[in-house]
Amino acid sequence: LAGVAFLAAGLWAWSEKGVLSDLTKVTGLHGLDPVVLVLVVGIVMFTLGFAGCVGALRENICLLKFFCGTIVFIFLLELAVAVMAFLFQDWVRDRVKEFFENNIKSYRDDIDLQNIIDSLQRINHCCGAQGPEDWDFNIYFDCKSESKSREKCGVPFSCCIPDPAQKVVNTQCGYDIRKKSKNQWDDQIFVKGCIHALEAWLPRNIYIVAGVFIAISLLQIFGIFLARTLISDIEAVKASNAF
């Protein structure tokens, strides 16, 4: 049911953005379309849920083996990603930087992506991948482009240091900020890049992150154990009936 809900939400979002009537919009976006992530999660959840539930109710060994095998694959994939991230930190940092820069390029192309970047910058008090100058990757904010965009040489409002006295968000607070000297940036916008902010956040919350991964891993191992136990019981019953 959760998988169906994710799929329904993803398809509704795509229909609202007109993607269902023109699928080329998916490939035309340079950055990440968050709806794709929702749909992938929905498909995986629905497939696993269907295989596990129907396999258990109908005592279908094929579906149960598929359920068990898929969870084992996901578990090993998570383990491999964690080990790779620990052993090849510089490579991971470069890929994250490249990923963030690609999404900056598509900031104005997709409203969902725009909201995610704004939330990330606002929550972590950061701006750009390495810093505010990364917004030159976006054609609307690029200082060197010949664009007549009003946002030229600026940053999104989510980079601005919030004013506690302001109850209404000033979406124009980042206009022309990068035309000023860098000494003046500190008073108006966040100058720390989001990659550095995330790197600083991880050590402070390492126990929470580790706890979440351990909890997910235990649930997966428990699911594998239950599936293997049920498969063994079904095979044992079939073997006894054969005699």
Concatenated DSSP letters of 213-227: HHHHHHHHHHHHHHH
What CATH homologous superfamily does 59-241 map to? Tetraspanin (1.10.1450.10)
For 1, 46, 111, the CA distances from 9, given in Å and listed in that order, are 12, 13, 16
Report the alpha-carbon angle 226-232-233, nearest 5: 90
What are 20's two structure tokens? Answer: 């269902």
pLDDT (0 to 100) of residue 24? 65
pLDDT (0 to 100) of residue 144? 85
Which position has the higher pLDDT, 225 or 13? Answer: 225
Is residue 237 over pLDDT 90?
no
Give tens-digit pLDDT for 117-162.
999 999 999 999 999 999 999 999 998 878 788 899 999 999 999 8
Q: Which helix (H) or strand (E) holds 189?
A: none
The residues spanned by each domain of the chain are: 59-241
DSSP state of 143: S
pLDDT (0 to 100) of residue 73? 93
Max mean pLDDT range (145-154, 200-209, 210-219): 210-219
Tell me the mean pLDDT in the region 86-110: 86
pLDDT (0 to 100) of residue 46? 93
Of 113, 116, 98, 101, the closest CA to residue 25 belongs to 113
Q: Which pTM value belongs to this model? A: 0.77
Q: Within a 13 Å sphere around the CA of 72, how many CA atoms are in the beta-carbon half? A: 11
Tell me the mean pLDDT in the region 183-207: 88
Tell me the mean pLDDT in the region 89-111: 86
Residue 67 pLDDT level (bands cut at 50, 70, 90): very high
In the beta sheet, which residues pair with residue 139?
Answer: none
The answer to whether residues 154 and 141 touch, using CB atoms and an 8 Å cutoff, is: yes
Q: Which residues contact 153 (CB under 8 A, 6 or more apart)?
A: 141, 143, 176, 177, 178, 179
For the chain, give the percent of residues with pLDDT over 70: 94
pLDDT (0 to 100) of residue 242? 67
Distance, C-alpha 112 to centroid of its chain:
12
The answer to whether residues 97 and 129 touch, using CB atoms and an 8 Å cutoff, is: yes
Which position has the higher pLDDT, 17 or 54? Answer: 54
Tell me the mean pLDDT in the region 92-108: 88
What are 135's two structure tokens? Answer: 């917004």
- In one letter, which amino acid is 7? L
Is residue 222 over pLDDT 80?
yes
Q: Which residues contact 126 (CB under 8 A, 6 or more apart)?
A: 120, 159, 190, 192, 193, 194, 196, 197
Max mean pLDDT range (78-87, 105-114, 144-153, 218-227): 218-227
CB atoms within 10 A of CB 56: 16
